[in-house]
Amino acid sequence: MLAEKAVPHSEVPNAPGPGWRLGVLYGPAVYGVSAAAVALPDAAQHLRASGPALAWILTAYAVGIGVGAVTAGRITDLWGSRPVLLIAVTLLTTGALACAVAPNLAAVVTGRILLAVGSGAVKASALTMAAHLPAPQRPAALARFGACLVRQPPFEMSLVGPGRRGAATA
């Protein structure tokens, strides 16, 4: 049923490793809700929007990420992981850029929906690609994948605090 086959051990390169590449894509997708929640006070001022209206910024992401993950899972079964991952990264990037230049709340919510659908699809595709690795390579790839999540800025900041960020990334 799946469109991809496991790659023979002799054909999988050791470096930089699929776990690193997938983790780097997956990491930013994880922090979509928490990063926006921190920015809500500034968004309220910039967009001249009230608290209830701003809730749509978070709600759009929560709904979009679920839709993106479920839809990408099914499409990955039909097309394979790579094309779905490329589409997902394009949606994620387009949504992020739309949010960055949005002049009003409606544009931000639209950008957040694109960002979230892309994020959900990245998560589904990245984990599917990791699952298709040969069994002996899967634990190392998933460990690298997890290590990338720990190295994402929001997680580092929670561990070391804003004043020590330079030491954590050096």
State how far Cα 33 lies from the chain centre: 11
Question: Residue 51: is it exposed, middle or buried by C-beta count within 10 angstroms (0-12/13-18/19+)?
Answer: exposed
92 is written with which tokens?
């994620």
**Domains in the chain: boundaries:** 28-151
CB 116 within 8 A of CB 57: no
Rounded to two decimals, the pTM is 0.71
Q: List, for residues 55-97, the tens digit of each pLDDT value.
A: 888 889 889 999 999 999 899 989 988 899 899 989 989 998 9
